[in-house]
Chain A
Amino acid sequence: MAEEKKLFKVTIDNIAIEVEPGTSILNAARRIGGEVAPPAMCYYSTLKGSGGKCRTCLVEVAAGSTADQRPMPKLVASCRTNVMDGMIVKNVTSEKVLDARKGIVEFLLINHPLDCPICDQAGECSLQDLSYQHGTEGTRYEFKRRTFEKHDIGPYIQLHMTRCILCYRCVYVADQLTNRREHGILDRADHSEIATYIHKALENDFIGNVIDVCPVGALTDKTFRFKNRVWFLKPLDAHRNCLKCSGKVTLWNRGEEVFRVTARKDQWGEVKDFICNECRFEKKKTADWVIEGPTRIDRHSVISGNHYVDIVEPKEIMPEVMGGRNPKLLMDINQVSEVNRKDIDLSEIPGPAHSEDFEKENS
């Protein structure tokens, strides 16, 4: 029998968990789930070397390990820092982390065009999710936003450089999935951009995956451009026999019509099985696919709103984080309103509710 591996005990936001040595703080936090998992804009578990760049996953390490109890002097990128035995990590329980994260969201947004109304990524955009969760409602940036010269990178992929947050994921995809990388980061500092060196098209097989890994709308599917909003489409798990890839995809349908094909994403928005260009761009008929059924959506996002089946409600984790206390309600409607009373369930009243309904119960 193989020797049992010693597990590291790590406490994240007051919740203890045991993980294997070599696990990053982020992945340990994802095992706990909910709010405890820091947001990640550049880390991608299936891409080697990714992470550490966007700084949204910064956490505070209150104690390094059992052996060395000292806290780490700076916030650390949880995606690139491995857990130690006895480590104590603070994510949502640390004011410092929340403040830093607010700053990062602001930095990411100052040069972002905020053209969500015309962006194909809207509804499944990590930056949208991040800003809703951690951003402020206003901007303090009063300057012209950064713009770039437009580059055409071929018939399949649309590049909107202004939306890019320079996560480098697409560079890793080209390095690790295709046989030749034709694009990269040119230039430096705030004028660095994703581009091909001398206007080339991205045509490698599997290069379509850059669309799936892009956290924002910088790289979108040209065959789906302006066709539909993602939340009007119905995602279906489907597969076909493909010689190049696993053939396991998500079809985005409206009725019988296939609007687009993507790889399957997990609850962290990451693709485990990358798909080939043929599956993604050429097979746009329902007849090409064997449909397995509706996609299980367990990600907090606009696309999981209301009308999808099999939605998994995220586990309520805050009471545990706060040591048994429930989060304080900003306003208890029953205390400030005479109309809303706890003992009256509005859904029990047939038709519209009138003042009489409330007075009647009072007497």
Chain B
Amino acid sequence: MVRKLLLEKAHLEGIRGYDVYRREGGYRSVEKALGEMTPDQVTDEVKKSGLRGRGGAGFPTGMKWSFIAKPEGVPRHLVCNADESEPGTFKDRYLMEFLPHLLIEGLIVSSYALGSHVTYIYVRGEYSWVIDILETAIGEAKANGWIGNNILGKGFDLEIYVHRGAGAYICGEETALLESLEGKRGLPRIKPPFPAVKGVWDRPTVVNNVETLAAVVPIILIGGEEYAKIGVGKSTGTKLISTCGNINKPGVYEIDMTISVEDFIYSEEYCGGIPNGKKLKACIPGGSSVPILPANLLLKTVKGEKRLMNYESLADGGFVKGSMMGSGGFIVLDEDQCVVKHTLTLARFYRHESCGQCSPCREGTGWMEKILRNIDTGKGKMSDIDLLWDIQRRIEGNTICPLGDAAAWPVAAAIRHFRDEFEWHVLNPEESQKRNYGLAHYADPLEPAVAAV
């Protein structure tokens, strides 16, 4: 059995409330951090743990914390990014909904480490009931002396505010989030300066994902070195994976990053296999922005090794033969799913969510959607496939924020791995409206990798 650090107590009745949470050992990390440790020691523990940002990019959290500028007399802020809007990702919602106090506990410890006296939780607007849960939990924590002035008599003051977003995917990008938090249009800022130097209201700011901040709690409790022993290589600790699509048991799972992708999909403990005896066609392992992988490349890397559910292994093979851990939104497609339609759905999403600030993303995402719609409805041309490739190539890397890349990668990967399916749609326009292309050779074993010369 995998050791659970975050969701261990999630099933307990009443854990959402303060009393049960505290009885089960809640807020011990605050007592430990504020009582026995200096802020720098907390940061050191997080550094030792090797914790990587759980929002998608996987940047080492301890390092991010140590980058924060500390000018005299300027307040610093911690902002919790709970604007989880990536299609396929819903782990943060689960965490906030069932264990709101775990997040608040993590926030208190992290704020202490960073010296933030006013900390914000920026919640996605669509999570309206989660906002109520969080505010209730903050009220309970405040009533019991965990938030407020002079916490535990240690002279540390902290206020936590919940800020409700207005329903824009782009506000999950950290600088757009900060703009939105300031009450402006959620447009990504041009970096540099980075938030660690000039963040919200031009003050040094750290923006972390919900799961990252919650993971600080077990790190303080068991110690950074102990935490780092879980997992493999640079993928330390446990990771929440939200699974959906054609699987028997969709939901949120906590894994320790040593499990193989194959076991994760087919084991009874996790996804429980694919329903109706269907075959696996493809999978997006880390939320809609990361490249889609056909079954053969998903289960084994090009070197013929088993692919594991962790940062390095999922990225093995780069963008051509691999994918990314991303935010942990695990979307499984069986043989009946149409990759063209699927890509169109994603392209439509990114067109709708582009902020419209910079030209490649604003114009390119709309163009890609229109071409994909043509192919999907049987009006496509062969040249459209190359055109799509060219458009995504010119969006990627040329935009202000990563949304441009996130819009380009799914299209690129779909064409790279499923070009025959696109071509079938173009060559069989009438048939493509009646049935799906189905499973080609996507589940065939990989050819043995050729040694690099």
Contact = CB atoms under 8 A, between A and B. Distances in A.
A188 B363 contact: no
Given A53-B359, A54-B359, A190-B362, 16 more contacts: A53-B400, A56-B359, A74-B398, A104-B359, A140-B387, A141-B367, A143-B367, A143-B370, A165-B359, A166-B362, A188-B170, A188-B353, A188-B355, A190-B354, A190-B363, A192-B356
Interface in B343-382: 351-360, 362-367, 370
Interface string A112-142: 0000000000000000000000000000110
A110 B391 CA distance: 12
Contact of A100 (B358, B365, B367, B398): B398
A189 B394 contact: no
B365 A189 contact: yes
Interface of B: 168, 170, 185, 190, 351-360, 362-367, 370, 387, 390, 393-395, 397-400
B400 A107 contact: no
Interface string A247-269: 00000000000000000000000
A38 interface: no
Contacts of A169: none
B185 A185 contact: yes
A38 to B, nearest CB: 13
Nearest to B363: A107
Contacts of B387: 140
Count chain A CB atoms within 10 A of each CB in B185, B353, B357, B365 and give the residue with the most: B357
B357 A53 contact: yes
B354 A188 contact: yes
Interface of A: 51-56, 58, 74-75, 77, 80, 99-100, 103-104, 106-108, 110-111, 140-141, 143, 165-166, 168, 185, 187-192
Contacts of B353: 188-189
10 contacts: A55-B399, A75-B398, A80-B190, A104-B394, A106-B394, A166-B359, A185-B185, A187-B356, A188-B353, A190-B363
Contacts of A143: 367, 370
Contacts of A189: 351-356, 362, 365-366
A144 B272 CA distance: 46
A51 B189 CA distance: 11
A185 B356 contact: yes
A317 B154 CA distance: 67
A75 B390 CA distance: 17
Contact of B364 (A107, A165, A192): A107
A103 B394 contact: yes
A54 B397 CA distance: 14
Contacts of A107: 359-360, 362-364, 367, 394
B370 A111 contact: no
B363 A108 contact: yes
Contacts of A140: 387
Contacts of A185: 185, 356
Q: Which 10 A-B pairs have the closest CB atoms?
A: A103-B394, A192-B356, A107-B363, A52-B190, A189-B354, A190-B366, A74-B397, A189-B356, A143-B370, A107-B359
Count chain B CB atoms within 10 A of each CB in A54, A106, A185 and give the residue with the most: A106
Task: Name the prevailing secondary structure of the A interface residues.
Answer: loop
Count chain A CB atoms within 10 A of each CB in B170, B355, B394 and give the residue with the most: B394
A214 B399 CA distance: 22
B358 A54 contact: yes
A108 B362 CA distance: 9
Contacts, number: 91
A188 B168 contact: yes
Count chain B CB atoms within 10 A of each CB in A55, A58, A74 and give the residue with the most: A55
Nearest to B369: A190
Contacts of B358: 52-55
A104 B398 contact: yes
A144 B55 CA distance: 37
Contact of B363 (A53, A74, A80, A110): A110
Nearest to A165: B359
A97 B370 CA distance: 27
A108 B359 contact: yes
A55 B361 CA distance: 10
Contact of B359 (A51, A55, A99): A55
A110 B358 CA distance: 14
Contacts of A108: 359, 363
B336 to A, nearest CB: 30
A166 B356 contact: yes
B367 A103 contact: no
Contacts of A187: 356
A185 B186 CA distance: 12
A58 B398 contact: yes
A55 B398 contact: yes
Contacts of A99: 394
A136 to B, nearest CB: 12
A111 B394 CA distance: 17
Contacts of B355: 188-189
A54 B399 CA distance: 9
A166 B364 CA distance: 14
Nearest to A73: B397
Nearest to A75: B398
A54 B363 CA distance: 11
A168 B400 CA distance: 15
Nearest to B367: A110
Contacts of B190: 51-52, 77, 80
A103 B398 contact: yes
Contacts of A110: 363, 367
A168 B360 CA distance: 16
A238 B395 CA distance: 45
B360 A52 contact: no
Contacts of B185: 185
B360 A166 contact: no
Contact of A192 (B362, B367, B394, B397): B362
Nearest to A49: B190
Nearest to B359: A107
A99 B396 CA distance: 13
Contacts of A54: 358-359
B344 to A, nearest CB: 15
Nearest to B185: A185
B404 to A, nearest CB: 10
A44 B366 CA distance: 27
A290 to B, nearest CB: 42
A187 to B, nearest CB: 8
Contacts of A166: 356-357, 359, 362
A111 B398 contact: no
Contacts of B363: 107-108, 110-111, 190
A80 B193 CA distance: 10
A110 B364 CA distance: 9
B315 to A, nearest CB: 16
B213 to A, nearest CB: 28
A190 B365 contact: yes
B356 A190 contact: yes
Count chain A CB atoms within 10 A of each CB in B359, B364, B398 and give the residue with the most: B359
Contacts of B359: 53-56, 104, 107-108, 165-166
A140 B355 CA distance: 24
A143 B359 CA distance: 18
Contact of B356 (A56, A77, A188): A188
Given A74-B397, A100-B394, A143-B370, A55 B354 contact: no
A104 B400 CA distance: 13
